[in-house]
Amino acid sequence: MKTNVLILVSALIARTAAIAATPDAPPPAVISFESQVTNPAGSQAPGDQYVFFGANAKPDEQEGDNPAMNLVNLRDFSVSAPIPDRGRLIPANPKSPECARVMAPGGASVTTGILWSHWGKDNDYADLATFRIVNPAVTSFAIWVLDSTLKLASNCNAAVAFRVNGGAPVAAHPTVQTASSNEFTKFTVTGASISDVFTVVVRNSSKGSFRSLAGLTFSVIPNPAMAGKKFPSICQEGWNDLNKNGRKDGYEDPAQPVEKRVENLLKQMTQEEKLGQLNQLVLGGESERDPDLFPLMRRGEVGSYIWGRGVPAIRNQFQRIAVQESRLGIPIVFGMDIIHGASTLFPASLGLSCSFDPGLFERAQTVAARETRAEGVEWVFAPMCDLARDPRWGRVVETCGEDPYLSSLCNAAQVKGFQGSNPAAPDRVAACLKHYVGYSAVTGGRDYNDAEITEWTLRNAHLPSFHAAVQAGALTIMSSFNSIGEIPAVADRHTLTEILRDEWKFGGFVVSDWSAVEYLIEWGYAKDKADAARLAINAGNDMDMRSEAYANLAKEVREGRVSQTTVDEAVRRVLRVKFQLGLFERPYVDELSYKSAQKQPQDLALARECVTKSAVLLKNTGILPLSQELKKVALIGPVGDDHREILGCWGGRCSWSETTLAKALKDALPKDATLTVVKGCSINTTPSMKTLQDGRIVPDDNALPIDVDLKLDDAVLAAKNSDVVIMAVGEPKGLTGENGSRAFLTLTGRQQALFDAVAATGKPVVTLVFSGRPLTLPEVWDKSAAVFYAWQPGSEAGNGLADLLVGKVAPSARLSMSVPRNVGQVPLFYNHVNTGRPRSGQYRDMTSTDAKFWFGYGLTYTTFEYSAVRIVPAANGKPAEAAVTISNTGKREGDEVPQLYIGQLVCHAGARPRQELRGFKHVKLQPGEKAAVSFPLTGEVLGYIDCAGNTRVDAGEYNIWIAPSAHQGTPMKFEFVR
């Protein structure tokens, strides 16, 4: 079989080469194009055109499901890869990657590859390759498909066809002429436009299935309309002539201070160009084909794009229009949601914050910054500084938990990871703090809702994390969807200007959330887009994401409702960030080397470390770590062998993980142990229950029938035949994140029935919960022998969790969000106020209204004991300290996280929470080892923010805890004297 394939491949290479030498296909020329301003030599000769080419052959790997994202390097496709059931590209000559890369200047023909295809059914279509034009100069090209080789492969009949922009496969198309010969089908495409997506399709027109090979040859046909056209070169020695006037203007001079450059540029701008800088559009799919787009960019009326394709060549094409064809050449800033990784996915923030290790966030976001910037996105919409107080709200998964102190440290660390010390560096990006502010306080946990927040709560709960991240240097902030009291946040001058600018002196810019400016109309707060734009910019919202409302500001200024100073100040802020990002010096990204910045081995090692430090061990009767003597392990549940759910709610570039828990566990278990993997049921049977008008909950007719979805017999059999069961259950990632509010915090679909049946076998069950929020799982807590809360762990979920299960690494994570017993209790967070009747007012129909697991809780494979808290009085200029001695009383080395909580007993400015986290440490102790751990009791540790924004610390009595979690340990009274 192998020999046959080789023969076919060689035959095909020979044929393809022959085609490449046909008269209307001159030999490939040396390719040179402008990928960097710093490397423009000889670039873009008149009439040069090129296409990029890729395959949709690996829909689930690396590039995501979107075939348009696969317009990349064909070197990714390897001959030795297993035969897929779709077309697969093999470079025609693997030793000559340029052959596969396909960038052909005008008139050249390049043999691109050989398709290895497989059809399952009669008359089945297979998409062989998807490609599109990314150079606006190209409108025509030809492609040959060696259909004769299809017949060569077997005695079957196959026909090639062409699909344009996802339409039905056609043998001919208005823009596509087809000519067939014995050898090949040639498609000539004319009148194509940028972003048109072409797909070569092969149809099996014979009976039965077969496999085949086909070759593709490309030729770019010179476009007479473009003859002689040359993009102006802007590149000068050490600077870019962005306004193409042959002189080095102030704003073009990298040696000038940023503020001077901003002023110089601002002076040259028309009102339309200024408003253009405040206009952010969305690029991708249909919008890329918008005929108005290029003129808009040429006029300098687009300041930013939300863009997520991850293909630098496409991004550069758009940037080239803004930079080289607009009057002032102001680069566009490309922004995207990169929340917990781009190519390497780390645990989603709620999970990673359970590491109580801000340094880990910094390291993870350093990787994300490198991967992202290399792809041409220089601005990430992260970190999320919202507080997680209500698990019904789907976006808690994107937060760093319920505590303002922990959240502040984690978010400041993320800013450092993204921006580094120089955001202009080619591996750094600008951070965007979101959602400013109060988004997590939405009523009932319903996304996008109103939020009633007092000034006291705003100052002491919701704002600290934003403030810490601003102090860490964050360049941008996103205003939020919710209202704060009666005013929608995007139009709230108090938070956007009085606090952010006047108090905090924030110098970057504020971008609205998605259409939030326009949504002011829906709120009933603005009458039309002009009114909305006026309200938003006057409040301090600088850039408008997607509403296209700010163009109206020209008239608002003319008629005196908005001052020119307000507009100019907003433009200044946007330009400042663009200068700080180095965009005026390096508007383009390297199209060739970006792949090497992705998913390096050390990145995956870090992702694995993050998984081990995020999964919280909530229960362990002693079954963990798994014994080396185990012979039979069953892995049951829909996440056990899953490639997608484990990645998390913001999958970056990925929708498929290479490793699953099943695979990793197989590698980690003793060699002679067997692992039986049973899915049992799906994670989400869309949903299996529905709520009727009258509130009753009944089975949903649309759900998968129970006998189709639930395979209890297989699961029970596997459990009975095992020494231990590992259950991998949870909620689908699609029910978390934006618009992911839930009324029930249960396992989804039939997972509870699956769990109950497996637990009833009496075998010890270790449950791993995969979820973006705390779930209320009484049966799981009670009946499992051990429980790990795994959250949404990312690319290395399998390996990291296997490390924990077999004890290669001991768990060290602590809950950053309390786990309620029942959804009726939420919002429930540890740092609530004491109230006037702290022991009353609880739910009468619950025996305990405590959380099931409070903030800070988490076990490891050993045990620790804490001494009583000692207060060491202030002396010799040193502040007072609280100290404890911690002993490792177990049999293994372990990492303990002692936490300092304070509670002010009397505060006249307002009632403070009964306890607040103000410090934590990591202490590694050997069995029998003890360590003294202390925390200073300074004003900073004890203080709060009053309603005028002043930091205050009161003399008086405080409770002090040093404990393994909130609501554990005994407080010590301490008097703070000035």
**Would you name the residues annotated as active-site residues?**
513
Which residues here bind ligand NOJ, judged by CB under 6 A?
306, 337, 381, 434, 513-514, 738
Burial of 755 (0-12, 13-18, 19+ CB in 10 A): buried
Closer to ligand NOJ by CB, 394 or 894: give it. Answer: 394
Evaluate whether 599 touches 370 at the Cβ level (below 8 Å): no
Nearest-angstrom CA–CA distance, 147 and 181 = 9
Q: Report the nearest approach of ligand NOJ to the CB of residue 304 (Å).
A: 11
Please choose, from the candidates 813, 962, 834, 848, the residue with its C-alpha nearest in 3D space to the C-alpha of residue 904: 834
Q: Report the nearest approach of ligand NOJ to the CB of residue 436 (Å).
A: 11
Q: Report the nearest approach of ligand NOJ to the CB of residue 519 (Å).
A: 11
Q: Report the nearest approach of ligand NOJ to the CB of residue 123 (Å).
A: 41
Nearest-angstrom CA–CA distance, 84 and 688 = 33
Q: What are phi and psi of 839, to 5 degrees?
A: -95, -5
Q: Which residues on adjacent β-strands are paired with residue 203?
A: 125, 159
Q: Report the nearest approach of ligand NOJ to the CB of residue 820 (Å).
A: 25
Evaluate whether 153 touches 140 at the Cβ level (below 8 Å): no
Evaluate whether 150 touches 158 at the Cβ level (below 8 Å): yes
> Which residue is nearest to ligand NOJ, using beta carbons?
381
Instruction: Give the SS3 label for residue 576.
Output: helix
Nearest-angstrom CA–CA distance, 539 and 516 = 13
Closer to ligand NOJ by CB, 353 or 784: give it. Answer: 353
Q: Report the nearest approach of ligand NOJ to the CB of residue 294 (Å).
A: 23
Residue count (the chain): 978
Specify the amino acid at residue 837.
Answer: R
Structure tokens belonging to residue 943: 């203080």
Evaluate whether 837 touches 790 at the Cβ level (below 8 Å): no
**DSSP 8-state code for residue 803:** H
Element (H, E) at 350: helix 349-353
The Cβ-side half-sphere exposure at 617, using a 13 Å CA radius, reads: 28
Structure tokens belonging to residue 949: 């924004």
The Cβ-side half-sphere exposure at 276, using a 13 Å CA radius, reads: 24
Closer to ligand NOJ by CB, 478 or 571: give it. Answer: 478
Closer to ligand NOJ by CB, 76 or 378: give it. Answer: 378
Closer to ligand NOJ by CB, 218 or 514: give it. Answer: 514
Q: What are phi and psi of 110, to 5 degrees?
A: -130, 130
Using alpha carbons only, give the angle 338, 339, 343 rounded to the nearest 5 degrees. 55
818-833: string of b/e by CB count within 10 Å (b at 16+)?
Answer: bbbbebebbbbbbbee
Closer to ligand NOJ by CB, 381 or 854: give it. Answer: 381
Q: Report the nearest approach of ligand NOJ to the CB of residue 419 (Å).
A: 17
Element (H, E) at 882: strand 881-888
Q: Report the nearest approach of ligand NOJ to the CB of residue 337 (Å).
A: 5
The Cβ-side half-sphere exposure at 820, using a 13 Å CA radius, reads: 20
Structure tokens belonging to residue 227: 């003859």
Closer to ligand NOJ by CB, 394 or 919: give it. Answer: 394
Per-residue DSSP letters for 33-84? --S-TT--TT-S-TT----EEE--S-TTSSS-S-GGGG-S-GGG--TTSPP-
Closer to ligand NOJ by CB, 489 or 654: give it. Answer: 489
Closer to ligand NOJ by CB, 434 or 763: give it. Answer: 434
Structure tokens belonging to residue 702: 């649309």
Bridging pattern class, strands 483-484 and 450-451: parallel
Closer to ligand NOJ by CB, 542 or 590: give it. Answer: 542
